[in-house]
Amino acid sequence: MTSASTHTTRPLTTTYMWLIIMAGTLTCVWAITNLPLSRIDPYFNLLALGTVILGSRVAIRVPRINTNITVDDTFIFLGLLLYGGEAAVLLGMIGGVAAGLRISNKPRTVLFAGAALACALSVTAQGLLWIFGSTTDLLHHGPSAAIIAICLMGLLQYASHTAIVATANALKDNQTIWQMWNQNFLWISITYFAGAAAAGLIAFSIGTAGFYAFLIAIPIIAIVYLSYDRYLREVKSSARQAELAERERAEIERERAEQAERHVKELNNYIVEQERISRTLEETKEHFRHAAFHDALTGLPNRSMFSELLTAEIKSSRINSNHLFAALFIDLDRFKNINDSLGHSYGDLLLVAFAGRLEKILRPVDTLARFGGDEFAILLSNMSHPQDAIRVAERILEDLTQPFDLKENSSFTSASIGIALSTSGYDRPEDILRDADTAMYRAKENGKGRYELFDKDMHARAVSRLSLERDLRQAIEQKEFCVYYQPIVSLESGKLAGFEALVRWNHPVEGLVSPSEFIPVAEETGLILQIGQWVLEEACRAVNTWQQQSVVHRNLTLSVNLSAKQVSQPDLLEQVSHALEQSGLDARSLKLEITESVVMENAEAATMMFKRLRALGVQLSIDDFGTGYSSLSYLHRFPLNYLKIDRSFVSRITETGENAEIVRTIVTLAHNLGLQVIAEGVETREQQKQLESVGCEYAQGYLFSRPVEHDSVKALLDGELGSNGQLAIGEEALHDDSVVSVYPM
Ligand code: C2E
Ligand code: CA
Ligand code: CA
């Protein structure tokens, strides 16, 4: 019949199985004690043998539910019909154990298989006994009753046996008994009915035809078995297919699960990667952000960041009117010199060192920024008093009196500082920066190495300067410039030696504008290059014409001023020679005047350029001598011809001859260097006499003539020399005030 085996057995299943084993054993004990031994004959032994052989050999395992189907039912039912319930119980135990051994060697499984069959048979036997009064007389009540009895026998055995086995399986699989029975045991009912029918048929034959019928029964059993077998094989194969399908399904599900797991993993990795990328992006952004707001050389905040901070300060001061802050604009003086003489890498080192010094001076709430080049800015936040800003500026200037010792070079630098205070009331960061910048320029103009505080006047001046710049550009286009000529007299002969060309701006509204007002702006904006070149060409032409007019004037000289910008222009030489060629003026007639400070600040470049100019035949003057800080020992290095004593020394010479000493010293020095001397700003006879007495060669000043326009020179030249050799216009020039000042610079 059937048996169940378990792989992993739950405690409840085990208990149940042992209970059945116990019940089966008791049933067998009961069967043995009640077995009517008188009825045991050789046929019974044959039956028992057949049961064991068939039960142990010809079992078909249904894989899906791990249950055996055996064909020993026929013999056991036969035992029931021929020898009674006790005999059937014993056969059942024997057959069950034999079948159990086929699928397992576990005693519990083997014994359970036997006990289940024994128990089921005792139930069937009792049922039949109860209905029909006997189990061995079932076939003797007529054909229809016999058929009912056989069917009932199959049904009882099927119900009781499958109930016992299904319970074990249900406990094992944690299913309800009904579920288990319905799914796995319904379809095997046929084996029970077939077994019961076969047994009934054989028993009937034996009853009518004797033992020979038993022999005849064997082929019947064989046929039943074979069709069984066929049927079961089909069941088996469909079960296997179902199992394969099940496995396949499980496999697919497993793969799906794995795939899902992989996807989750990939997704996780993706998310992690995304986070990593976004972090890197964040870092990259941060890097750019930092670069956008910081200076690469010093790592300090740059102008953009400084403006942001200023905006915040402006907001704070709007909320709290007591909030006081200041912007300081710092520019190193003559930093270009350091770069040129010691190299850019040294310049960079100096900037970094300077930044370091500034940071030491500042409080943690203050901000130091670098705007580029040698321009720095400081934001002083939360000041308690406006004086604080001045104190910081003073500390910076004080600190700069110490040298920078870098790369085995010791160098000094000074700085010009402009201060703008929040008390002026600002709405925009660019305004406060502009004012600090204006104040800084003011500090430069006032002599560098100092600070200036921005005030309202300064603002007015800055505005006026802006309009001056605009007007200057227009002036170049409109050709509003003209050249005035101031005579230079030989003190030895008292005769006219030449002229200094002085530019004038004939402003359409303001009239004549003094060069001391617009030259600095023209210089800053670079407009001086066009103006200067025009003056040079114009003056060369004029003087050449005058020279050609009379032999007396053949040796007239022309002095032309060169600005710093012009001197640093690489094509200056070409421009000068071009002016000479175009005008036809002899190079020896031309004297170029370069102020002392320009010569000294660009010593190297100036020397080179001077040599080339000298090679052209042009003469050179050092202008405004005594105003700069020229080192006298330097002077001999420059290929100069003349030295012009600044007006300030000349004007100090009093009527009694006081202060002539310093002029004497300069003249002596110049002569020792092989230079001739021209005195500027000579306004009195006394000054003229003193200059003559110390050996000064030339003089220029209102005493002789103011600068006059081109056409006046002609008149001057025509009637120039009176009988005493003096210039005709003389002291009247002192009262000429044709040059007006319009710009409050
Ligand atoms: P500078 O080269 O020292 O020119 C002499 C200045 O002194 C002239 O002023 C002249 O008018 C003035 N001056 C002459 N004699 C006397 C005097 O007896 N008393 C007084 N108080 N002043 C006297 P100006 O013409 O206003 O020129 C000022 C400066 O402008 C010049 O100083 C020169 O540095 C610059 N400048 C003039 N023209 C040019 C030019 O064409 N190119 C360049 N680069 N600079 C020029
Ligand atoms: Ca001059
Ligand atoms: Ca001068």
Q: What is the pLDDT of residues 371-403, one digit of tens each?
A: 999 999 999 999 988 888 999 999 999 999 999
Residue nearest atom 25 of ligand 1, based on CA coordinates: 502
Among 524, 648, 644, residue whose Cα is nearest residue 591 = 644
Task: Determine the residue of 481, 486, 502 to mutate for testing ligand 1's pocket, defined as the one with the most ligand atoms within 8 A of the Cβ atom.
Answer: 502
Residue 224's Cβ-side half-sphere holds a number of Cα atoms within 13 Å equal to 24
Among 292, 323, 321, 296, residue whose Cα is nearest residue 307 = 292
Q: How far apart are CA 295 and CA 682, in angstroms?
A: 53
The predicted pLDDT at position 134 comes to 81
Residue 63: count other Cβ atoms within 10 Å of its Cβ.
12
Beta bridge partners of 619: 591
The predicted pLDDT at position 45 comes to 82
Task: Determine the residue of 518, 561, 729 to mutate for testing ligand 1's pocket, defined as the one with the most ligand atoms within 8 A of the Cβ atom.
Answer: 561
Q: How far apart are CA 385 and CA 371, in angstroms?
A: 26
Contact assessment for residue 484 and residue 709, using Cβ atoms and an 8 Å cutoff: yes
Among 432, 434, 461, 456, residue whose Cα is nearest residue 446 = 461
Lowest mean pLDDT segment, chosen from 53-67, 351-365, 413-427, 502-516: 53-67
The predicted pLDDT at position 626 comes to 82
Q: How far apart are CA 192 and CA 177, in angstroms?
A: 20
Matching residue, tokens 């019940």: 23
| 707 CB within 6 A, ligand 1 | yes
Residue nearest atom 29 of ligand 1, based on CA coordinates: 516
The predicted pLDDT at position 474 comes to 94
Contact assessment for residue 743 and residue 518, using Cβ atoms and an 8 Å cutoff: yes
164-217 residue pLDDT tens: 988 888 888 888 888 888 877 777 787 788 888 888 888 887 777 666 666 666
Contacts 24+ apart (CB under 8 A), 688-691: 688/491, 690/653, 690/657, 690/660, 690/663, 691/491, 691/650, 691/653, 691/663
Lowest mean pLDDT segment, chosen from 280-294, 580-594, 637-651: 280-294
**Residue 408: helix, strand or coil by DSSP?**
coil
227-261 residue pLDDT tens: 666 766 776 677 677 778 888 888 888 888 888 88
* Crossing angle for the helix pair 143-173 and 73-83, to the nearest 10 degrees: 130
| 195 CB within 6 A, ligand 1 | no
Rounded distance from Cα 627 to ligand 1 centre (Å): 14
Lowest mean pLDDT segment, chosen from 98-112, 606-620, 690-704: 98-112
Residue 3 has pLDDT above 60, yes or no: no
The predicted pLDDT at position 593 comes to 97
Residue 584 has pLDDT above 80, yes or no: yes
Contact assessment for residue 679 and residue 515, using Cβ atoms and an 8 Å cutoff: no
Give the mean pLDDT of 74-101. Answer: 87
Beta bridge partners of 370: 376
Q: How far apart are CA 656 and CA 654, in angstroms?
A: 5
Q: Report residue 307 as tokens.
A: 């403006």
Q: Report residue 207 as tokens.
A: 């009853």
| 347 CB within 6 A, ligand 1 | no
Whole-number average pLDDT of the chain: 85
Q: How far apart are CA 181 and CA 636, in angstroms?
A: 128
320-357 residue pLDDT tens: 888 999 999 999 998 988 888 888 999 999 999 999 99
Residue 726 has pLDDT above 80, yes or no: no
Residue 556: count other Cβ atoms within 10 Å of its Cβ.
21
For the chain, give the percent of residues with pLDDT over 70: 88
Residue 483: count other Cβ atoms within 10 Å of its Cβ.
22
Question: Binning pLDDT at 50, 70 and 90, where does residue 737 land?
Answer: very low
Question: Binning pLDDT at 50, 70 and 90, where does residue 679 land?
Answer: very high
Out of 79-93, 469-483, 648-662, give the one with best mean pLDDT. 469-483
Beta bridge partners of 557: 498
The predicted pLDDT at position 733 comes to 41
| 701 CB within 6 A, ligand 1 | yes
Beta bridge partners of 664: none
CA dihedral 659, 664, 667, 668 (to 10 degrees): -150
Residue 64 has pLDDT above 50, yes or no: no
The predicted pLDDT at position 62 comes to 46
Q: Report residue 19 as tokens.
A: 């209970």
Lowest mean pLDDT segment, chosen from 191-200, 297-306, 490-499: 191-200
Which amino acid appears at position 188 of this protein? I
| 114 CB within 6 A, ligand 1 | no
Residue nearest atom 28 of ligand 1, based on CA coordinates: 516
Residue 6 has pLDDT above 50, yes or no: no
Residue nearest atom 42 of ligand 1, based on CA coordinates: 561
Question: Binning pLDDT at 50, 70 and 90, where does residue 596 land?
Answer: confident
Residue nearest atom 17 of ligand 1, based on CA coordinates: 681
| 683 CB within 6 A, ligand 1 | yes
For the chain, give the percent of residues with pLDDT over 90: 46
Lowest mean pLDDT segment, chosen from 192-196, 287-291, 589-593: 287-291
Rounded distance from Cα 593 to ligand 3 centre (Å): 8
Beta bridge partners of 380: 326
Among 479, 480, 483, residue whose Cα is nearest residue 710 = 483
Rounded distance from Cα 502 to ligand 1 centre (Å): 6
Among 140, 145, 93, 97, residue whose Cα is nearest residue 118 = 93
Residue nearest atom 15 of ligand 1, based on CA coordinates: 701
Residue 141 has pLDDT above 80, yes or no: no
Kindly give the pairing relationship between strand 511-513 and strand 496-507. Answer: antiparallel
| 486 CB within 6 A, ligand 1 | yes
**Residue 494: helix, strand or coil by DSSP?**
coil
